[in-house]
Amino acid sequence: MYIIIVGAGNIGSNLIERAVSDGNDVVVIEHDEERANTASAEYDCLVLNADATTHDTLKDADIDRADAVITTTDVDATNIMVMLLAQEHNVPNLVSVVHDPENLPVFEKIGVNLIENPQRLIADYLYHSVRYPNVSDFIELDDTTELVEITVTEDAPMNAQRLNTALESGRLPEGCLVVALERNGNIRAPRGETTIHAGDHVTVFTDDAALSDAVSAFTGEQP
């Protein structure tokens, strides 16, 4: 893909690294000279030290070739302007971080895919890491549900239990569904007759009310 990334700050830098390492053609636009120089020295991509809110800069970035434009600056007004300009060039994929929830309707009207309030996402991740140390990853789906990845321990109530009987026996709490299982490097879709074993990595869909019980079921520990 040909991707234009606006902003080389903390969020942008991680995105640039991921996009470049995945073999994409990446152009970075960064207004701050020091950040632009750092990105240019560190990543194998074209870096423009310029203002992304102008047509000339976007033309220099060859925006008409772009498969996606991603804005990561900490100023919503800048991100909105870039998205509007990219829309004029018919870029098929528009993605932006949004810092102020009051600006969400503007981005949605443009048709932008949103990364809402990245600072809150980081805070949530850190909080989950402290409260649930055995949860290796989580994705908040909405205000009440999330996906969590848990490694099953030897003393977990779910160890050596079949899924279709675990719910009936109360070992698997209501509001909790195992949607994926990784064992010995192989990922499978679990069935009712699937037996959970220590060392399995399970991805669990759960509501907030059942989250603590779900973690306990697969780890044996109370958060």
Instruction: Give per-residue pLDDT as tens, 22-40.
Output: 999 999 999 999 999 999 9
Predicted TM-score (pTM) of this structure: 0.64
Q: Which tens digits make up the pLDDT trace of 173-219?
A: 888 889 899 998 888 888 888 999 999 999 999 887 788 888 889 98
What's the average model confidence in pLDDT over 116-123?
62
Given its phi and psi angles, is residue 128 left (phi above 0), alpha (psi -120 to 50 degrees) or beta? Answer: alpha
Lowest mean pLDDT among 106-115, 135-144, 146-155, 157-166: 135-144
Closest by Cα among 211, 81, 77 to 146: 211
The pLDDT of residue 16 is above 90: yes
Q: Is pLDDT above 60 for 223?
A: no
- Going along the chain from its start, the domains and CATH numbers come out as 2-116 (3.40.50.720), 121-219 (3.30.70.1450)
- The 10s digit of each residue's pLDDT in 70-119 is 999 989 999 999 999 999 999 999 999 888 888 888 888 888 886 656 66
What string of DSSP letters covers 192-208?
A: TTPEE-TT-EEEEEEEH
How high is the pLDDT of residue 124? 65
